[in-house]
Amino acid sequence: MLSIEEKVVKNEAFITLSGNMIDSSSYAVNEMVKDFISDGIKQVTIDLENVRMMNSCFGLGVIMGCWGSLARVGGRLRLENPSSKVSSLLKITKLDQILDVHIK
């Protein structure tokens, strides 16, 4: 199960995820980003520190969907503090070279 918390400060949205990104509940993150874009917010930070497990479809697919949605409107997606498993997945897929990833 995935837990999602959101916060908006000025013109930037912060999403904190906890749990696993392995099922369709992860699509809520993409919908949230689309809602932010509709509200004029184009800067989104997703904290992945407490994501224990992520797969390619519901994890990486959702993250890339968010990145694409923001890129189309000139926005920016920032990933913060990926857990060691998520960080490894980003490195294996070389998405750490495409995405804006920040580690503590």
The pLDDT tens digits for 17-73 are 999 999 999 999 999 999 999 999 999 999 999 999 999 889 999 999 999 999 999
Looking at residue 1, its pLDDT comes to 84
Angle formed at CA 57 by CA 54 and CA 60, multiple of 5 degrees = 55
Closest CA to 47 of 10, 2, 91: 2
Looking at residue 56, its pLDDT comes to 87
How does strand 12-21 pair with strand 43-54? parallel
Q: At what angle do helices 27-38 and 61-72 cross, to 10 degrees?
A: 10
CB 34 within 8 A of CB 4: no
CATH of 2-102, one of 3.40.50.80, 3.20.20.140, 3.30.750.24, 3.40.190.10: 3.30.750.24
Q: Is the pLDDT of residue 2 over 90?
A: yes
Looking at residue 104, its pLDDT comes to 74
Secondary structure letter of residue 78 according to DSSP? E
Residue 99 tokens read as 């995405």
Q: What is the pTM of this model?
A: 0.94
Alpha carbons 84 and 14: distance in angstroms, whole number = 21
| Burial of residue 6, with CB atoms counted within 10 A of its CB: 0-12 exposed, 13-18 middle, 19 or more buried | middle
Looking at residue 103, its pLDDT comes to 86
Closest CA to 47 of 23, 82, 3, 75: 82
